[in-house]
Amino acid sequence: MKETPTFTFGAQNLPDKEYHQWLIEIKQRFQQSQIKTAIKVNTALLEFYWSLGSDIVKMQTEKAWGSGFINQLSLDLREAFPEATDFSTTNIKYIRRWYLFYYQELTKSHQLGDFLEMPIGIASYQIKEIIDNTIAEFEKNKLKNFYE
């Protein structure tokens, strides 16, 4: 049950407009910090997924590990992190595919060298831009095919 806050101001010292304005600012700052935290977490996860996808492709190429190792990786990661939902076999395959797709997109656009040398915030923005453009293209084609 949610508790209703009670004021500790005395009856003659009720909160004034200045207090209410300050409270509004505190709430806004807190909400802004929550948004910044979510963005940082999402960026860190994108970086992790990118590196995991890269590692998987590298291991499959250099070590000649087949697709069976993805099942083993999934089991090992789920055992190590039982609370995480990110490591199903399907999700790991999606991470690999996501990496390959966007790596190829970056390579096609000749931005890979620049991309790897830029700060992660800008790189994350460029990945998001590629994702957004890909989704927009997909939606456009889906609508086009729907009306044909």
Q: Considering the entire predicted model, what is its pTM?
A: 0.58
Which pLDDT score, from 0 to 100, does residue 68 have? 86
- Helices of type H across the chain: 17-62, 68-80, 89-108, 112-117, 120-147
Q: Count Cβ atoms within 10 A of the Cβ of residue 87 and give its class: 0-12 exposed, 13-18 middle, 19 or more buried.
A: buried
As given in the structure block, the two tokens for residue 5 are 């806050």
pLDDT tens for residues 80-128? Answer: 999 998 899 999 999 999 889 888 776 666 555 555 555 555 556 566 6
Confidence of residue 42 (pLDDT cuts 50, 70, 90): confident
pLDDT above 90 covers what percent of the chain? 26
- The residue whose two tokens read 């939902």 is 85
